[in-house]
């Protein structure tokens, strides 16, 4: 089945689309009626261009931001069934917090994964759901219930990034294979701008205990700008509100743990960033120690060399 994804809100690709509060809804369905929509794999290149060129379809320009690394079409698992290309992910076992689990990876294709997939049961236990995402998606929300599953998250962009994001929808088959299809390419421009959201959902009828049931899978991703943070300073304060110690961090030199002085009662966090007009900004917040655990955490956000934010969590302990 030759899939087409329809933009409910029409995008004029030659214009500036990074508008405050803009939202795009996408409609689509998997290559098989039994395949389930999972979420998105966001890329910065039109990875389907070679496929369209071979088939004689029209091509359109991509961008030079975040080039695909070591990508060879001859090495990828392409399924050209009925004219629609699919790229399959590979299953990889990993350890997360000491627990063995499975992740799905699109090897050789640089991008940001954000999808909800199921892992098959094995001899050691039952099957389960897992969210495939990295430290580039923030404010993530995941909901799984009898009515289906829903994920939502935000990608923060620097002020000077521009080009195209490709929102490739991800599906999963009944035998737990994960693949992506060609998605929408959306232009955006550098400079100030508000958020832009994209959501996609699919509804299915299933049989449960001999009865028909409706389930819905939904994913929403938001692109938003953030002033690039240059430095974060953690100031340890005692019960008399006096400075005990100060720790400064920058992108590329973020410690996993900061050990606090015994007299530290709370921490003042100062984030230094720069607006698009060059004016400096300082944001302050307060961290208080959890009395029960004796620790606390803080998530740092820095714009990486590719132009979008990466997160890193710092653990504070005595």
How do residues 204-230 score in pLDDT, each as one tens digit? 887 777 788 888 889 999 988 888 999
* Polymer length of the chain: 318
Distance of alpha carbon 39 from alpha carbon 50, whole angstroms? 24
SS3 content of the chain, % helix, strand, coil (to 5): 5, 55, 40
Residue 45 banded pLDDT, cuts 50, 70, 90: confident
pLDDT band at 281; cut points 50, 70, 90: very high
Please tell me the distance from the alpha carbon of residue 150 to that of residue 143, in angstroms, as a whole number: 5
Q: Is the pLDDT of residue 260 over 90?
A: yes
Nearest Cα to 204, choosing from 168, 169, 174? 174
pLDDT band at 192 (very low <50, low <70, confident <90, very high): low
Closest CA to 42 of 117, 133, 103, 119: 133
User: How far is the CA of 199 from the CAs of 2, 8, 38, 72, in angstroms?
Assistant: 21, 11, 12, 30
pLDDT tens profile 137-181: 999 999 988 777 899 999 999 888 877 889 999 999 988 899 999
Say whether pLDDT at 29 is over 70: no
CA–CA gap between residue 20 and residue 174 (Å, rounded): 39
Report residue 277: phi and psi, to 5°: -90, 5
Strand partners, 25: 199
Q: Taking 70 as the threshold, does the pLDDT of residue 49 lie above it?
A: yes
Q: Which of 111, 105, 114, 102 is nearest to 149 (CA)?
A: 114
- Residues whose CB falls within 8 Å of the CB of residue 85, separated by 6 or more in sequence, listed in order: 48, 51, 78, 79, 181, 182
CB 284 within 8 A of CB 265: no
Higher pLDDT among residues 102 and 19, named by residue = 102
């Amino acid at each position: 089945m030759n899939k087409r994804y329809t933009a409910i809100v029409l995008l004029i690709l030659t214009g500036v689309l990074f508008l405050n509060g803009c939202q795009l809804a996408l409609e689509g369905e998997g290559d098989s009626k039994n395949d389930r929509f999972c979420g998105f794999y966001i890329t910065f290149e039109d990875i389907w261009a070679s496929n369209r060129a071979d088939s004689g379809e029209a091509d359109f320009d991509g961008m030079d931001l975040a080039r695909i690394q070591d990508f060879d079409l001859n090495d990828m698992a392409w399924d050209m069934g009925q004219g629609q290309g699919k790229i399959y992910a590979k299953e990889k076992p990993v350890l997360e917090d000491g627990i063995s689990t499975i992740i799905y990876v699109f090897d050789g294709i640089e991008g940001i994964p954000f999808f909800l997939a199921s892992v098959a049961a094995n001899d050691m236990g039952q099957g389960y759901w897992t969210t495939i995402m990295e430290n580039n998606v923030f404010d993530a929300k995941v909901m799984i219930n009898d009515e289906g599953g829903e994920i939502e998250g935000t990608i923060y962009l620097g002020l000077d990034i521009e080009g195209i994001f490709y929102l490739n929808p991800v599906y999963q088959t009944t035998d737990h294979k994960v693949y992506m299809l060609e998605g929408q390419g959306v232009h955006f421009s550098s400079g100030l701008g508000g958020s832009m959201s994209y959501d996609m959902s699919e509804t299915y009828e299933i049989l449960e205990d001999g009865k028909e049931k409706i389930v819905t899978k939904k994913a929403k991703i938001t692109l938003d700008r953030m002033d690039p943070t240059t430095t974060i300073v953690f100031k340890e304060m005692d019960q008399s509100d006096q400075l005990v110690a100060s720790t400064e961090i920058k992108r590329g030199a973020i410690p996993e743990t900061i050990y606090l002085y015994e007299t530290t009662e709370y921490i003042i966090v100062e984030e230094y960033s720069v607006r698009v007009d060059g004016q400096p900004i300082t944001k302050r917040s307060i961290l208080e120690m959890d009395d029960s655990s004796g620790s606390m955490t803080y998530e740092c956000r820095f714009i990486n060399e590719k132009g979008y934010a990466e997160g890193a969590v710092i653990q504070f302990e005595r």
